[in-house]
Structure 1
Amino acid sequence: MKFSLRSESSKARATSAEQDRNRSVATTELEPNEATRAGVYLFAVVMFVVGFGVVFAATFAWLSVATVLCAVAAGVLCAACIRVAPQWERVTVLRFGRFHRVAGPGLYFLIPFAEYTAIHIDHRIMTSSFSAEAALTADLVPVDVDAILFWMVWDAQKACLEVENYPKAVLWSAQTAMRDAIGQLNLADLSLRRKQIDRELQEVMGAKCEQWGITVLSVEIRDIMVPRELQDALSKEAQATRERNARVILAEVEKDISEMYVEAAEVYEKNPSAMQLRAMNLAYEGAKDGKGILLAPSGLADGFDVSKLFKGE
C-alpha cells in the first residue's frame, strides 16, 4: 500500500534538486579533463580517405560517376571494417546475429556484411546519481533521498546479452534497493545509520548486478530531505528535549549544593568556632566587594569576638 504524503514544498525541493543534478551533470560533461573518443572518429575518417584514395587513384584513368561511387563505397567499407577502440572500451561483436567475440582495446577488424558491433562498453568506473522520492520510512514519514552510485562493467559479454539497457537497469535497481532500505528504518535512525545503509545497499546491489557482469563499488547517500512541516516539528521536539535536559542538570546541581549545605550545617552545629570563622570570612568578602562599606546585622559582630572564638562558645 502506497501513501502520497508529499507537500508542495517537498515537490519544489525535489524539482530544485533535480535541476542541480542536471546542471552538475552538464558541467561534468564539459570538463576538459574528460577522455573523449575523438581519436576513434578521426581514425574512421582516415580509413575512409585511404580507401577512397586508393580506389580513386587506381581508376583515375577511367574517371566517371561510377568510379567515384566505387571509390566512396571502398572508403565506407574500409572505415567500417577497420576500426579502433580506446584503452577503456570493449566492443561486442556479433556474427550473423550470434555473439562471436569481445574486441578491443586497439585495432580490430570486422568481416563485411557478416559481423557488426552490437554495443560499445566502457570499462571505467561510472558515477550515477539517483534519488528515491517520497520513500516511506518505517514510521510512515515521506523522505527524499539523493545518492551516488559507483559501479563498473567487468564482463562486456554479460552486460550486452543478459540485460537490455544495463545503465538504466542499474539505476532502477538502486532506487528499489534504496526504498527497501529506507522502509526498514525509522526517521530518527535514518541519519544515524547512513553508513550502514550505504554498506547494505552495496551488498544488495552487488548480488543483483553480478549476473549482469557489473560490480557495484560503493553507494553514498548525499542528502536526506524531509517535508518542511516535519522539519519544524522535529526542531521543536529537539528544542524541548534540550530544555528538559538543561532543567534536569540544574535540578541535579541544586541537589548537590543542598547536600553540601546540609553537610556544612552539621559541621557548624558540632563546632561553633567554625561558624564564627565563616562569619568573619563573609564579612571580609562583603567589605572587599562593597569597597569598604559593610551592611550586616548587628549579630554578625559576635563573630569577631576573639575571646569566644578561643573559648569555643
Structure 2
Amino acid sequence: MKNDTNRLQMIKPTKAQRKPLRSALPFSMFLVIVMIAVVYGLMNDNNSIIIIGFVLAFFVSQSVKVAQQWEKAVVLRLGKFHGLAGPGIFFTIPIIDTTSFWIDQRIIATSFNAEQTLTKDNVPVDVDAVLFWMVWDAEKAALEVENYREAVSWAAQTALRDVIGRTMLSEMLAGRENIDYELQAMIDKRTEPWGVTVQSVEIRDVIIPEGLQDAMSREAQADRERKARIILGSVEQEIAASFVEAAKIYGDNAIALQLRSLNVLYESLKKQGGIVVVPSQIADTTGIGACLGMQAQLNQKLDSNKQGCEE
C-alpha cells in the first residue's frame, strides 16, 4: 500500500502543470483602464466615472485570456461545454463563461514502473519504463476523464504489469523492442477515448534478483567455454587432416620427403652459431651424410693446396 501511495504521488501533476502561468495582459489592461478613469474623473471632479472605470476594468480584465502556443483552453458556459480557445488571445463573458482547463498539447514524458512483478516463469522483476504521449483531443481530455495525466500513468503501469505476467524472463531481456511495441499498442488503446495518443514506450531497466544474476552469469560463462572448446576441437581436426594428407604425399614421393627434410635443416641453420644434431636415420634418409663427407674432402684438399703455395 505504501508503494502504491508513493507511485501515486510521483505521477500526480505538479502545481505548475495544474495552474500554468497566465499572461500579464489582463492585469495590464486593468491598470490602464483604471488610470484613465481616475485621471478623467479627477479632471471632471466626478467620482462616478472612477467607479465605472473600476467596474469596466474588472470585466475587461476577466474577459481577456491568453493561451500559449502549445495550449488549448476549454471554455464552459454556464457549466456546459462551449468550445476550445487558443493559442493566442481570446475573450470570454465574465461570470457566465469559465475557463476550467488548460490542456498542454506538447509531447509529455512520464516515467512509470512495476515492482516485484512475476514473469510468466515466476521470476520477480522490477521494470522501469518511460512513456511519451500527447493530447490530440483537448475536449475529450477535459471532459471524459477527471485527471488525464494521472489516468495515463495508471493505465501505463497496469499495462506494464500485464505484459510482464505474459512474458518469459529470457524474452524480456532479449526482446525489449517487441515489449515496447506491445505496451504502446495496449496503452494507446486504453487512452484513446480520453483524447490521448501514445507516441512510444521505452523500457529503461529490468532488475532481477541478485541470486538469479549470479546463476545467469555462470551459465553464460559456461556457454562461452563450451563454444571455445568446440572451436578448438574443430581447428585440431583440420590440422590433423592436413597432416594426414601431407603424410600421404610424402609416402608416395621420396624426393619430396628429402626436399622437405633438407628444408627443415636449412631453416634450422639459418641462424648463425646454431648447432644441429642430425640423427643417423635422418642422415641416411636424406643423404646428408654423403653430402657432408664430400664437403669435408673438398675442404681438406683446399687446405693442402694452400699449404703448398705457402712453402
TM-score normalised by L of structure 1: 0.76
Moved more, 125-134 or 93-102: 125-134
Equivalent residue, structure 2, for 1:241? 223
In 2, distance between residues paired with 1:50 and 1:291? 109
Q: In the alignment, does 2:65 pair up with 1:83?
A: yes
Moved more, 289-298 or 220-229: 289-298
In 2, distance between residues paired with 1:260 and 1:201? 56
SS of equivalent to 1:223 = strand
- Percent identity over the alignment is 46
| Higher Rg | 2
Shift of 1:155: 0.8
Q: In the superposition, relative to structure 1, how do residues 142 and 111 fare at CA in structure 2: closer, same or farther (>3 Å)?
A: same
Residues 55 and 74 in structure 1, CA contact (< 8 A), matched pair in contact too: no
In 2, distance between residues paired with 1:91 and 1:85? 7
In 1, distance between residues paired with 2:38 and 2:209? 70
Q: In the superposition, relative to structure 1, how do residues 232 and 280 fare at CA in structure 2: closer, same or farther (>3 Å)?
A: same
In 2, distance between residues paired with 1:113 and 1:138? 57
* Residue number among 99, 121, 142 corresponding to 1:139 in the alignment: 121
Unmatched segments (≥5 aa) in structure 1: 1-10, 30-36, 309-313
Residues 280 and 303 in structure 1, CA contact (< 8 A), matched pair in contact too: no
In 2, distance between residues paired with 1:243 and 1:292? 41
Shift of 1:154: 1.2
In 1, distance between residues paired with 2:111 and 2:260? 72
Shift of 1:234: 2.0
Equivalent residue, structure 2, for 1:200? 182
* Residue number among 154, 167, 175 corresponding to 2:149 in the alignment: 167
In 2, distance between residues paired with 1:128 and 1:290? 76
Q: Write the letter of the residue equivalent to 1:172.
A: W
How big is each residue's C-alpha offset from its partner over 1:178-233, in whole Å with a ceiling of 9 and x where there is no partner? 22223333222223312222222222222222111111111122233333333222
In 2, distance between residues paired with 1:71 and 1:130? 52
Equivalent residue, structure 1, for 2:254? 272
The number of residues matched between the two structures is 275
Residues 158 and 211 in structure 1, CA contact (< 8 A), matched pair in contact too: yes
In 1, distance between residues paired with 2:243 and 2:253? 15
Q: In the alignment, does 2:193 pair up with 1:211?
A: yes
Unmatched segments (≥5 aa) in structure 2: 291-311
Shift of 1:71: 6.2
Shift of 1:75: 4.2
SS of equivalent to 2:134 = strand
Equivalent residue, structure 1, for 2:274? 292
Matches within 5 A, 1:106-121: 106-121=88-103
In angstroms, what is the RMSD of aligned CA positions? Answer: 3.2
TM-score normalised by L of structure 2: 0.76
